[in-house]
Structure 1
Amino acid sequence: MQELFDLEKDIKYLESSLKEKRRQLKTLRKQMGWDGPQSEQEDGCCNGFDNSTDIRETSLQTVIDAIPEPIMVINLDFSIALANRAVWGGAKTGFQKRKVTCHELSHGRPTPCSTADHPCPVLEVFRTKKPVKVEHLHYDHDGQEIHVEIVAAPILDEQGNVWQIVESSRDITDRRNSQMVISDKLEFLNTLIETIPSPLFYKDTDGRYLGCNSAFCSFLGKSKEQIIGTTVYDVAPRELAESYHTADLALMENQGVQIYETQVRYADNSIHHVVFNKASFLKADGTVGGLVGVMADVTETKNTARALAESASRFNAFMDNLPALAFIKDEEGKYVYLNRAVTAFYNQTVEQRLGKTDQQLWPEDIAAKIISNDRQVLAEQRVLRTTEAVEVNGSRREHLVVKFPLVNEQGTALLAGVALDITDWKAAEEEKKALQRRLEIAYRMEALGTLAGGIAHDFNNILTSVLGYVELAFEKSSDRPEIQGYLARVLTASQRARDLVKQVMAFSHQSDNKPQPVILKAVVKEALKLILSSLPTNIQLLQHLNSEDAVLADPTNLHQVVMNLCANAHYAMKMSGGTLTVDLSTVNIEDDGELRRFNCQKGRYLRLIVNDTGSGIAPENLERIFEPFFSTKPKELGSGMGLAVVHGIVTACEGVIDVRSTVGEGTCFTILLPAITADLSQETILQEPLPVGNERILFVDDEALQTDLATESLGLLGYRVAAFTDSRQALAVFFQDPDRWDVVITDMTMPKLTGDALGSQILSIRPKLPIIIYTGYSENFDEKTAKEKGFAGFILKPLIIRDLAKLIRRIIDNVPENKS
């Protein structure tokens, strides 16, 4: 726009200069007397410019020589009648020595030159008899083109005919060159304005559009001809036009630059966000000439920014809700991004970690491993999946980490990664494996228990006969002490065999001992007294018995649990010595880790811990320690039933047992037993003499050894016994005379008709008849089941005559004689 203003200044200067030349010409004409009627004197002067010596001619020559621009008077034959010094100064040498024509002087041609572009002013004055002003092409004495502006006026005679012409010329070569430069600049400026893709316009101080580019035309949907000369009120709704006009007035009043953003409606009715950049411009005189404005369409930019903001918002929302720890590091290893999970995991703010390196955050060994992994990712430009350790609140956590290179817009390789804390997961996996091992052991123990129960059943039958006949032989050999000595040894061995069978039965959960509320502290304390007396001086016993709560169990079994565990601890420390620690407490198991470890339900438990500092258990043996008959001791020192019995007793009490052991450091057994609330009144059991009687007993067992033993043993106690090995035959005998029998004693497992089926048929005839059922294997039949079926008593093999006699007497004495 400044070029336009400069052009306007040049034009005004040229107009002013032209006015000045006209004034000088007018003065000359007056001086020469050309403005009024010509006198004779003037006529003579004019006719004799080249030869006159009149004072007036001399005076005129002096005057026109003082004018710097060429002035000459031309005759009708184009010869020069009068010329000033400026004319001859620019002509070729020798012209002033002879009479010369104007076209010879100016063009070097013998004839007048007149073209459509450059008409001859002399001919035009001759033709029109009026002054003319034309641009013409002259040549200097070197033959160079000179653009001149010629003003020619006629000198008329009395008849009004042109008889001479006065011509003034001015060199406008520089002006024309300037105009061409200005024209080029204007053309460039217009081209530049047209090529600007943003709508551009300029207005005067009245708000009328002076010009615009094609982009502005497209914006309004109008041509330039329809826009130029109009105002904003002609192209925009009135309310919007008012706001634009008010802003324009403020800009032109205060001058300077104005920038603001608004929404506009394009010609196609689409709404666009635009930024107006407006500036006022000044005229040549320094006053405000108007304003120029450019509209920058920022719709796409705003949409892109909005899309980026939404994308960033989604990214942040995703990353902040991602449970994994996400991070980005720059090329120097500094953290430049962290998601919310990172700050929550380390309990720190973002500011506490951003901008720091791993060397600043971790101990040397941890940092070295992390940095090594980072360098591998960046060097190989690949994804790395690995595990890394970190430190949180003094404890180390293990992370599963995925790291990968990330290239930013500048082409710089960053490092990004996602980490997942797998410490608890790994611990849970280890616990799961341990639980799986325990489950496998439980299945194996169950199978072994079933097998053991079956063996115990058959072994009890054998033991019953052995013990019974040994007792009979002992009674009948009172006169032979030597024989009784042998029999006593057999009886002792048989009793040891019976105790072993009881352990097998306890392992298979088939003990006939009744569970009852027991204060565990008293049982443990009693057992530790026995243990303490057998410990060598190099083993120290520490006991912390801090619970007065009770459990539901058989006290003898609990006593055996404590004795077996302490005996194993004693054996583990017998060579090196150490410390045996027994701890008893009441705990509430609610922590998920402990629930998984013990595989138990939430609740209140008595926790018994037996810990030693002995040799420990090898990992390959740890899974087998509860198997029956498995032992690492020499055969003469252990049967392999101790821990198997412990496991069976604890499981029967609905408890759990856990063992942790490290070779060379020791072993720790932890037992959890459900705590109960009960009234624990002490009962005094008196030793009674062997009872006798004379009642009639129907005895049924499918093994003859058992029936023979019962007949003889019970017969010695005064009972009248009828024994049968066929249960169906025994039932037939009963049916013949039901009232004959006072007691029925039957084995459970018999072919053709089992003991419970036999008893049920007998009770259908005599509902009040006492029936005692016994078995060597009680997995599916126990004392509770016996009572539910209406049986008076239940006992496990091997049958001990004393125990059986006491049971018979108790049942008969407590049952009224009411035969039907």
Structure 2
Amino acid sequence: MILEKIRKSLRIKLILGSVIIEVIMLGFLLWNNARLINQATFEHATTHLKEIPPLLNNALAPLIFQRDFASVDDFLNDLILDDDHGLRYIIIYDDTGQVFGKKGNIDIGNLPERNDHLFGKIQSKFINSEIPLTLANKEIGIVKFGISLAHLVNSKNSLLEQGILIASMEIIFTILLLGILGFILTRNITELVKGSEKIIKGDYSVKIQSSGSDEIGQLSKSFNAMSEAVQQHLKNLQKSKEKYQQLVDLAQEGIWQIDKNNKTKFVNSSMATILGCSVKEMLGKTIFDFMDDSGIQIANINIERRRKGIKEQHDFEFIHKNGHRIYTTFEMAHILDSEGEFDGAIVGVIDISKRRKAEDKLKISQTRFELAMDASQDGLYDWDLITNDIYFSPGWKKILGFEDHELPNDFSTWESLIKPEDAQRSWEMQQDLVNKKRNRFLIEFKMKHKKGHWVDILSRAKAVFDENDKAVRIVGTHVDITSRKQEERKYKETIESSLDGFWINDTQGNFLEINDAYSKMVGYSHGKLLNMNIKDVEAVEQPEEVKKRIKKIIRDGNGRFESIHKHKNGSLVNVEVSATYNESNDGLFFVFIRDVTDRRKIENQLHQAQKMESIGTLAGGIAHDFNNILSSILGFSELALNSVDKGTEIEDDLQEIRNAGMRAKDLVKQILTFARQSDENVKPIQLNIIAKEVLKFIRSSIPANIQIKDEIISDSFIMGSPTHIHQILMNLFTNAYQAMEEDGGILEVSLNDVVIDKMAMRENLGLSNGDYIEVKVSDTGIGILSENLHTIFEPYFTTKKIGEGTGMGLAVVHGIVESYGGKITVDSKSGVGTTFSIYLPITKKRKIQKSAENQDLPKGNENILFVDDEAPIAKMGSKILQQLGYSVTSRTSSVEALELFRTKPYEFDLVVTDMTMPNMTGDKLATELMKIRSNIPVIICTGYSKKITEEVALEIGIKVLVYKPVVKADLAKTVRKVLDEAKSSS
């Protein structure tokens, strides 16, 4: 009865509720006051405990140490009597149990337990504590004391009692006040209750009469306003319902309302269109009426899940009115009755038939891709760089011996299985890929198999970039190349044992693999080469030519050509390159390189020999014809000199003609020397004479902007060949002036005698002690680069342009000088000039010839047959011999001469014949003559002939072989010598 009254009375509820709140608040206030009082009491006790120990230690420790127990007793007595400290007993003792002093009812054998750890509240009115007495950080005794907290606890309890009394009075006053207030507030509420009951029944016209301006009056006014607002809202709701109906009808999405029995209560026109029906046809039918058996089965499962509160999109399959299948997705919202039970649903339906077909096609494509991946036994991975999610295909895991469920799709899987030394390299390449430093990811590394062994993996990948050019995914494959790597290792062993170089490079020219043979070939370490490009070793000066070669190899699949590579030390290596391009293997070039430097040198030597042979043949032909011409010039000039008066102008002119002819004779000799067709035996020669001749010879061919300075002091002899010395000086002089052709300069030549006896000089030159001629040839030309100085004397090394040098000159000079026991050195600075120094040993031997012009020429009266196909030479030879007293018969045909001799074999004492003649050469003529008369002496004269040498001449019985042009003095001595030897032998 009381509870019912309380339930129906707002006044009682107000009073009772207020009292309860007041009691709770006052209770909280009392509790808080008690807590604060207790806290203050605790802090006071704690402070008191902290103050006593230092007081006791400072006062007692010195007295105990000094054993002043009387003062100790006085101090304890004062302390006990002082009520401020609250001490009830105190005792001082050491660890042996000796008591130094005590006050109060306490005994050393019955000490109370220590309880001075308050932990935020006071547990007892009496506290027992102890402290060590220390002096200079050394413990000298123990003080135990008891403190009474009774006065603090009593004060706390008194304050709490006062608080409870005040709270009780406040509660009584509140109950009285609330009773009066409740009566005032509730007297006008009855009218509001009655008005509310009318509104519940639908009478929104009710008005509450209230003249007050207090809260109840305001509530009455608000009630009236609410009534009016509800009426307006009902009108607006009706309008909104009409608009909603229009929106539903216009929506592209199907909207379908069903009751709790799944019957259609409402559908919009879009839903009817999806199923090919009219709205009227659908009303009253269940959703199952538009499904076949499989669709109904799927729908029942989804509806049951939705009834259980599982919120998710569901796919439903319907049958269109014309018979084909419609795929839809349902978004369902339940309608609940007043008791919260399922009373139907509103469903949003979207036709996803087109999307479903696309998904089916995608599934077929994915299935094909998975079958292809499975057939190829490759693995696939897909790394989302935004979410860091990664997918490893079953094939990826199968390569490593794992089933799909045995490895998580997590980046740590890859990190745990890759060989540690390969991880960093792979990670750096991935970073280059996402930063667009490379356009693809291609790397080989090892990963651990489930059984513990390592598997060789070829990983390829591509990065996917968004519209901001930021990498968002990396998709790639893994291929098990263990078998291939095993074959490669066998193949590599074969390659490494090859004497030929081998490398693999990509289309950018970067080296990917190199064997040791090629490393040795170019002087770089294996590791250094792997960080280099083909361009770093190619010495070909035409990049376009290299590009053409590469294009041809890519087009044809292979190619062979010769090239030049640069050695680390700067030297050049001639190589023969055989390359194969494999487009299917990521566009790699497989290249074999053979060092053909030695073969090229041999070929160059052969070419040079053939070239020199051709030059020799040409020079021989020139020499033959030119010597015949010179024979006439010298011969007739000498004949004329014998016919003119001495000291006349004509004699001078004739002498100049003869001198020119002699110079021309030397020139022909030098041409034959250059062509390697003439050689001389080593004999004592004066170097200064040859040096002056060579300087005189080249002076006319040197440009006017080059000045020649000579300091030829030495007149010593050396053992050598004039031809060789001439060759040495011509080569050095020519090199010197060619170095100054463009800008001019000074060519300096000096010959001096030097003595090599000092250790430093001897060791530097590598020569033994002795006297030497020092030949210095200097120029102020372009100089020689320092890196070329060590190869300057090597065969075929040249710094001249193509076609301007053979590269043999200085090599030949070096060889001749070394063969003479000498030394050649070079000192040069690029842009300053060059100095060549030659040291040749001096000989004591001498061979001084008297001038033939100052000697009396030998004469005779014998009969001589003179044969030459050149009529002027035949005439000239006859006249010279006739001036010497001989009887001469001349013929210009070797055949006629043979016939003449055949008819008169004993009429002639000597036959002098040319070598090169038509119909019958001189050697053939001599042979035929000696068949007729075996002891006939024969002299053969030749301008030049490959067929006849002194050795060949002696073999066939020819006495002397004379080289044209033959001057009068040489002819006189030779003829006389042969005739005298013939007489003595007979």
Q: Aligning the two structures, in what range does the TM-score lie when normalised by the shorter sequence? A: 0.3 to 0.5
| TM score, norm. by length of structure 2 | 0.33
Q: Larger relative contact order (C-alpha < 8 A, sep ≥ 6)?
A: 1
**TM-score after normalising by structure 1:** 0.39
